[in-house]
Amino acid sequence: MIDHDATDQLAALRAGTVTARELMAQTLDRIDRLNPAVNAVVALRDRDRLLDEADHAPPGPLQGLPMAIKDLAETAGIVTSHGSPAFRDNVPDEDCPMVARLRRAGAVIIGKTNTPEFGLGSHSYNPVYGVTRNPYDLTRSAGGSSGGAGAALASRMVALADGSDMMGSLRNPAGWNNVFGFRPSYGLVAGGGPGDVFLDQLSTEGPMARSIRDLELLLAIQSEHDPRHPHASGPYRDAGPRGKLRIGWLADWGGAYATEPGVLELCEAAVGVFESLGHSVTILPPPFPAEALWQAWTVLRSWAIAGNSGALLRQSPDMIKPELQWEIEQGLAVTAEDVRKASAIRSDWFRCTAGMEVDILALPSAQLFAFDAGWHWPKAIGRTAMDTYHRWMEVAVPASLTGLPALCVPAGFGLAGTPMGLQLIGHRGRDAAVLNLGRDYEAATNWIAQQPEV
């Protein structure tokens, strides 16, 4: 049963063909067998306690479904380490709003999914739990920062997984693990807590799954309207009838994005599927200077990170990774004029996307295939040096900078046998159109059936 998607599992629970206790036992048995090699699920809770909770799961759309929460989301009663030694003993008293929604929906929280320290970087390793490995090749990275979620889905340890995305953290691990990941429009999944809600709109939570219907199932729960969040636009609703869409294929942004051989060929073939389904595909020239997007992104990202995490550099400088130290230092050096210029570029790009004569922009979900799990990050793609720890994920910036909905769909496998994904980026607020297009693609392809042999 646990090899089926969440929708099928929940239908079986409702029909009584499997009990919640049986499903939990199967899930924990799978984790016991596979997780020592993959290291996707961390802070796993006591088996007997979980079996008992499965028996008494509250009614709701996820009643009795085992779920593990990304280790950046505050989860009551479970260590939420953020992958950092500074928080290795952090056990929150309360759930963050998104986790609270999942519990109310009947999900049984079994533990956490691994992430890079503080979610920085698209490779899930940290000094608390170690490296999450790609189920399709255990010598390779599972991506990040939702790498534990992606690997747990691919290896069928869970059927649904939450994630979050600032710079591709829902899209990169989905692509590298042959599953679906969706970054919703900013505000559809309302974040919680006090703090700025105007200037920092770079990150959002969202769903990961092995089917589009499962993505929508989880998104509908994650996007429950929260009156405490003034940008909240949920809940998610399917837009209804689907029409033919205009898709703009951007490839490597006119050569601006260094790309490993094989990536563009796979993604271009995936784009061709849409043409066979009657959608129109246009090869687009770069619609905006890539270097301007990067300039705006690095200023706003570092500035936001410094504002949110700057105290860590003062209080625990020896307990945070060099990449976070660098981000904070960069952010603290930013001037008001730097932020204004970066936001002006962001605004120009937003206007540009709003006026495009296509409905969807298509790009690879990463610029290279899953790399060696022992690396911190790739220092070069081909002959192009990566001048920062995240430059190899520059392809994620166009959607992230302006909060556009972006779906990663499986695009196939490279010569080394690891997966790649394709981003489908829509207009702000048109999440259902993006997901409906993904459903068309899912029906025409069957990449998900190619399970890892782990």
The residues that are catalytic are 70, 145, 169
**Nearest by Cα to 158 from 209, 123, 206, 124:** 209
Q: How far apart are CA 55 and CA 170, in angstroms?
A: 31
CA atoms within 13 A on the CB side of 427: 14
Q: How far apart are CA 303 and CA 328, in angstroms?
A: 7
**What is the b/e burial string over 402-434, where b = at least 16 CB atoms within 10 angstroms of the residue's CB?**
bbbbbbbbbbbbbeeebbbbbbbbbbbbbbbbb
Could you tell me the two tokens for 352?
Answer: 């540009």
Could you tell me the two tokens for 200?
Answer: 């920092």
CA angle 206, 202, 324 (to 5 degrees): 100
- The CA-to-CA distance between both ends of the chain, in Å, stands at 18
Q: How far apart are CA 98 and CA 189, in angstroms?
A: 8
CA angle 209, 212, 213 (to 5 degrees): 100
